[in-house]
Every structure is written in structure tokens, then in C-alpha cells.
Amino acid sequence: MKLTRLTTYNKPRIIEAIQRAPNTHFCTISAPKKTNPQLRLIHGWIREIQTFFAESEGKAYTFDQIKLYLKGLFGEVVTSTVNGKTNTEYKSFADYEKPEMSRFMEQVDHHCVEFGCYLTIPGDYYAA
């Protein structure tokens, strides 16, 4: 049996792929993960937030401190049990799907505006 993988939100493409797949195919359909532009943008925002705190409050936070702070506010908590020990951590950006990452980034942007940090948003960010 052959495997056909399709990563999309496009329903017509999903229907077409299922209809075209012969009976000897097994189709898997999944949502796309976050995009590289999203990842570049959130990392850029973290650096902007670092600069904002350094310039406005004279506080030097590391990249990882800012990232952990934002994940603590808006991130998803993942709990796993290994050898009877429960581990709790924040979901990695790499594991976010595109809509989840978009929601996370919108929350970060709104939060930053509340304390006067206006993040750079590319002109095509809200394009369809």
C-alpha cells in the first residue's frame, strides 16, 4: 500500500486528493506547521522586546528570558510522564501549527502595545 501525504487547509485539494487516490493508497492529511516567516518574525519581536526593556527601563533580559516570559503568558503547557516522573514544560514554537502560532503572535503584539512597545509588523503580515 502506498502512502500519500497532504499538508493543507485547502478543502478542495483534500477532496481532490482523496478522490484521485487509488484504492491501494492510504491518505494522511494534516494541518501545516508554523511557517518559517512566523518563526523569523517572533524571534525578531523577542529581540525588539529586549531592546525596548533595555532602552526604556534599563533592564537587560536575555533572549531566552523574554521567550520564556511570553510562553508563560500565552504558551501552551505540555505535560509528559517518563519513568513515573511528570514533566511540565511549554510547547516548543516548532510544534505550533500555523493558526496556533498566529494566535500566540497576536496575543504578544497586543500585550506589548499595552506597555508601549510597538512591534514591527511586515506590510504583508495580514495578507490573505
Q: DSSP class of residue 21?
A: S
pLDDT over 90 percentage in the chain:
39
Q: How many CB atoms lie within 10 A of CB 101?
A: 20
pTM of the model: 0.67
Task: Give which of 118, 44, 112, 40 is closest to 74, Cα–Cα.
Answer: 112
pLDDT in tens, 80-94: 888 888 888 898 888
